[in-house]
Chain A
Amino acid sequence: MSTQQEQGGRTIRCLIAKVGLDGHDRGAHVIARAFRDAGFEVIYSGLHRAPDEIVQAAVQEDVDVLGISILSGAHNTLVPKIVSGLEEYGAFEDTLLLLGGIVPDEDRAELKELGVAEIFGPGTPMEETIEFVAENAPANR
């Protein structure tokens, strides 16, 4: 509720996306639920999505936040495809791109360079993620 009011009554919309072959979505479920309870509207992609599908969903749903969960280690392949897809539809600039899951430290700099706003690894307190979204979600739509 408070996060909504900070945004001037505007509801933050998030897409929680599972991309690629990894089939573990417990983390994505937990995040989706926590976001919901924080007053966000959450769209969950379902498992095994291709980058194109994620882009389609993010564009059509006009989400403020795209949270990608990858546990398979394929982030260096999948994330760039999503970024360029979003750019193609003019949706990259005002979408807050987050990454969650297993991402080795040495990959982080490059991913952030690419446009990922933040990377949340295992054990990140839920409040930290929610706060980050509330503070950084693009406003004024």
Chain B
Amino acid sequence: MTSADREIETDTDDSEHAELVAELLDGRHRALARVITKIENRAPGYREIVSRLHEHTGSASVVGITGSPGAGKSTLVDKLAKAYRDRGETVGVIAVDPSSPYTGGAVLGDRIRMASNVGDMEVFFRSMSARGSLGGLSTATSDAVKALDAFGKDRVIVETVGAGQNEVDVVKTAETVCVLVQPGSGDDVQMLKAGILEIGDVFVVNKADMDGAQQTVAELEEMLHMRDEPTGGLQMGHHGPLSDGPGGASSNGTGDAGATEAGASETATGGSEDDGWEPEVLETVATDGTGVETLIETVGQHRDYLVESGDLDAHARTRYAEEIRQHLRADTAALLEEELVARGGVDTLAERVFARKTDPYTVADEIVGPLADCLRREE
């Protein structure tokens, strides 16, 4: 790329985006990096870029790694990437780290652990910050995954701290979700209750050479089996509505019960009638690579299961449906924000509500009313 090319990049016309996309598809690392930057910044034209990329996606298999801070996610990701590379596959990694809600600043430290893959450009590692206040982290992440997919990466690993709904949404963009737990801390298992237990396809007790590893494995096994018992099912029901809103059909199996009739018969161990995949609990020592091969095999088995049962495609459709909804929500919210400004800003309206001249519902009706009329007239 010459410096002349770069000057063109500053304006935002179609041909420039087409060129960037062409370079990305051509395997240029710089173009891939720049596309992800545009996605992160929501720079002008990023939507067009992602739209152009979409038709080239769908070949990468996406693994999500989540777990509490210090569980060893980055180290394990490093070893996973290395193992995939040894098999001749190319790897993309998106590592999400928290950012300060006050300054927006962040120290993205996951890259330090990527010791096994230094100098190997076939491992494309990208740190992303949560950039909390903007929301839409899951949109940015899934767009970045698309960029890596279109670039031609065989494997994409998404790594995130499993702390809240945001992160759960991020990791749901993956086909296979690995939840990492470290031994000897009951707190971790407590954390798992708050929504992550349901999304894990594979559970990994890392640092398995530490005291208490066996107990943690046993605790996890016990909790996972509770999912299959009738009472466990009832508890799941409580979680259901929470995770079900935005695209949560994956864990709460009722939605795709029909799709798994073929695969359900072979689940001898579990009583889960609608989900033939029994989450496994594995042990690893990420620092020396112990158990990584088993993990890779299990991830492979899970993908095979998804393909055979038809869940892979079903999940993809669910994901796209959710993406559509998310874009619609964000776009209409932006439109309505414009309208708010045109009406003198939300503070003015709040003041009128405070003075008891109107109420929030009436205000909302007044603002959304014209939009609703307009949409309904179209038909």
Contacts and interface: CB of A to CB of B under 8 A. Distances in A.
B34 A62 contact: yes
Given A36-B107, A40-B105, A11 B131 contact: yes
B130 to A, nearest CB: 10
A120 interface: no
Contacts of A11: 40-41, 104, 129, 131
A9 B134 CA distance: 11
14 contacts: A10-B43, A11-B131, A32-B107, A35-B105, A37-B105, A42-B108, A44-B107, A44-B108, A49-B118, A56-B121, A59-B29, A60-B29, A61-B126, A90-B30
A37 B127 CA distance: 18
Nearest to A139: B10
Contacts of B37: 13, 62, 141
Interface in B75-115: 99-100, 102-109, 111-112, 115
A1 B111 contact: no
B277 interface: no
B119 A91 contact: no
Contacts of A112: none
B127 A61 contact: yes
Nearest to B128: A41
Given A60-B126, A93-B6, A52 B119 contact: yes
A89 B111 contact: no
Range for the number of chain A residues in contact with chain B: 35 or more
7 A-B pairs with least C-beta separation: A90-B1, A62-B33, A46-B112, A36-B105, A39-B103, A62-B37, A53-B118
B124 interface: yes
Contacts, number: 103
Interface residues of B, number: 39
Interface string A101-116: 0000000000000000
A132 to B, nearest CB: 17
A24 interface: no
B104 A43 contact: no
B205 to A, nearest CB: 26
Contacts of B121: 56
A38 B30 contact: no
Given A41-B99, A41-B106, 20 more contacts: A1-B102, A1-B103, A11-B129, A35-B105, A43-B107, A46-B111, A46-B115, A49-B118, A50-B119, A52-B118, A53-B119, A60-B29, A60-B124, A60-B125, A60-B126, A89-B30, A90-B5, A91-B30, A140-B9, A141-B38
Main secondary structure of the interface of B (DSSP, over half): mixed
B32 to A, nearest CB: 8
A35 B106 CA distance: 8
A44 B109 contact: yes
A56 B115 CA distance: 13
B125 A38 contact: no
B3 interface: yes
Nearest to B44: A140
Given A42-B108, A46-B112, A93 B125 contact: no
B104 A61 contact: no
Given A56-B121, A140-B10, A39 B104 contact: yes
A141 B108 CA distance: 20
A22 interface: no
B103 A50 contact: no
A62 B24 CA distance: 14
A60 B118 contact: no
Given A11-B131, A60-B125, A93-B6, A43 B105 contact: no
B106 A89 contact: no
A57 interface: yes
B7 to A, nearest CB: 9
Contacts of B36: 62
Contacts of A141: 9, 34, 37-38, 41, 43
